[in-house]
């Protein structure tokens, strides 16, 4: 949600821009992205020039406004309301951790909320393994999410949390686990995969997070000006 933007680069454009920014020639970038000719999109040119591309989505704008209000009040806007999905996740997390330990042969230490040195950004680490690894446990029930993991081996929807966990904790690898007790009869109650730290991904994520923080700062400033008027 925090990084959600509209009118940005599509997948091919992102590949092209990433290739150019990494030092590839224009021809190499076209081959990587699958273009026959260089894209002439204004968004592509802005991205290559290092200018921001895309507009915040409605969901991101709403979340930024909510955070601004919570900064002012010092408490959750929804009074800490816990949804059914959140409660279910908390209840199943110990089972997910146990299954992960049994399958991996590792010992996972329970963890908590970790923050950056300046206290601005944070992430909830579900578990820590040794000195270099961590773990994230998901307990999805939505069929589309279960299918993405089990049939497509696609964890892209939660990659921000995976790489974010490594960024905040400084770790090198992260175990992502999907626990679904409904699949226990076929022995597939746990899907898990280990991801390596991707500093390029993290750098882009941090840039987006700083942009989002600026948005929250602006909202807070506007609200406080109205309050003082």
Q: How far apart are CA 191 and CA 7, in angstroms?
A: 34
Whether residue 206 has pLDDT greater than 90: yes
Residue 29 C-alpha from the chain's centroid? 26
Give the domains, in start order, of the chain with CATH numbers. 5-78+207-228 (no CATH), 84-203 (3.90.320.10)
pLDDT beyond 60 at 223 = yes
pLDDT of residue 9: 75
Cα 95 from Cα 147, distance rounded (Å): 21
Are the CB atoms for 140 and 159 separated by under 8 Å? no
Percentage of residues of the chain with pLDDT beyond 70: 94
- pLDDT above 80 for 229: no
Cα–Cα distance measured from residue 65 to residue 69, given in angstroms and rounded to the nearest whole number: 6
pLDDT digits (tens, 9 = 90+) for 141-171: 899 999 999 999 999 889 999 999 999 999 9
Distance of alpha carbon 60 from alpha carbon 65, whole angstroms = 9
Span 35-91, pLDDT tens digits: 888 888 888 888 888 777 777 888 899 999 999 999 999 888 876 667 787 888 889
**Whole-angstrom Cα distance, residue 160 to residue 111?**
18
Which has the closest alpha carbon to 3: 82, 81, 78, 57?
A: 57
* 122-133 residue pLDDT tens: 988 999 999 999
78 vs 69: CA distance, rounded Å: 11
* pLDDT of res. 39: 86
Q: How many CB atoms lie within 10 A of CB 222?
A: 12
Nearest-angstrom CA–CA distance, 177 and 37: 41
Q: Which residues contact 154 (CB under 8 A, 6 or more apart)?
A: 148
37 φ, ψ to 5°? -135, 160
Q: What is the mean pLDDT of residues 167-184?
A: 96
Q: Using DSSP, how many helices (H) and how many strands (E) does the chain show?
A: 8, 9
Report the distance separating Cα 107 and Cα 161, nearest Å: 21
pLDDT on residue 134? 96
Note the pLDDT of residue 226. 60
Q: What is the mean pLDDT of residues 204-215?
A: 91
Region class of 34: left (phi > 0), else alpha (psi between -120 and 50), else beta = left
pTM for this entry: 0.77
Residue 21 CA to residue 43 CA, distance in Å, equals 14
pLDDT, tens digit, for every residue of 108-120? 999 888 898 888 8
**Any idea which residue has 């409904």 for tokens?**
182
CA 17 to chain centre: 21
pLDDT of residue 4 exceeding 70, the answer is no
């Amino acid at each position: 949600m925090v990084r959600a933007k509209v009118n940005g680069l599509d997948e091919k454009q992102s590949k092209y821009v990433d290739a150019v920014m990494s030092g590839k020639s224009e021809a190499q970038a076209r081959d990587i992205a699958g273009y026959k000719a260089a894209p002439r999109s204004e968004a592509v040119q802005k991205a290559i020039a290092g200018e921001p591309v895309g507009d915040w989505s409605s969901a991101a704008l709403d979340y930024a406004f909510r955070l601004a209000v919570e900064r002012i009040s010092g408490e959750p806007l929804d009074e800490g309301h816990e949804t059914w999905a959140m409660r279910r996740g908390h209840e199943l997390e110990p089972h997910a951790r146990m299954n992960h330990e049994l399958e991996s042969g590792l010992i996972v230490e329970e963890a908590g909320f970790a923050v950056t040195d300046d206290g601005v950004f944070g992430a909830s680490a579900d578990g820590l393994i040794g000195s270099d690894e961590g773990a994230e446990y998901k307990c999805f029930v939505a069929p589309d999410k279960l299918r993405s993991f089990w049939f497509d081996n696609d964890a892209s929807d939660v990659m921000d949390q995976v790489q974010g966990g490594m960024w905040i904790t400084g770790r090198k690898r992260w175990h992502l686990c999907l626990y679904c007790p409904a699949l226990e009869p076929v022995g597939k109650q746990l899907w898990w995969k280990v991801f390596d730290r991707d500093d390029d991904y993290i750098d882009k994520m941090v840039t987006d997070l700083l942009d989002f923080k600026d948005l929250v700062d602006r909202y807070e400033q506007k609200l406080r000006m109205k309050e003082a008027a």
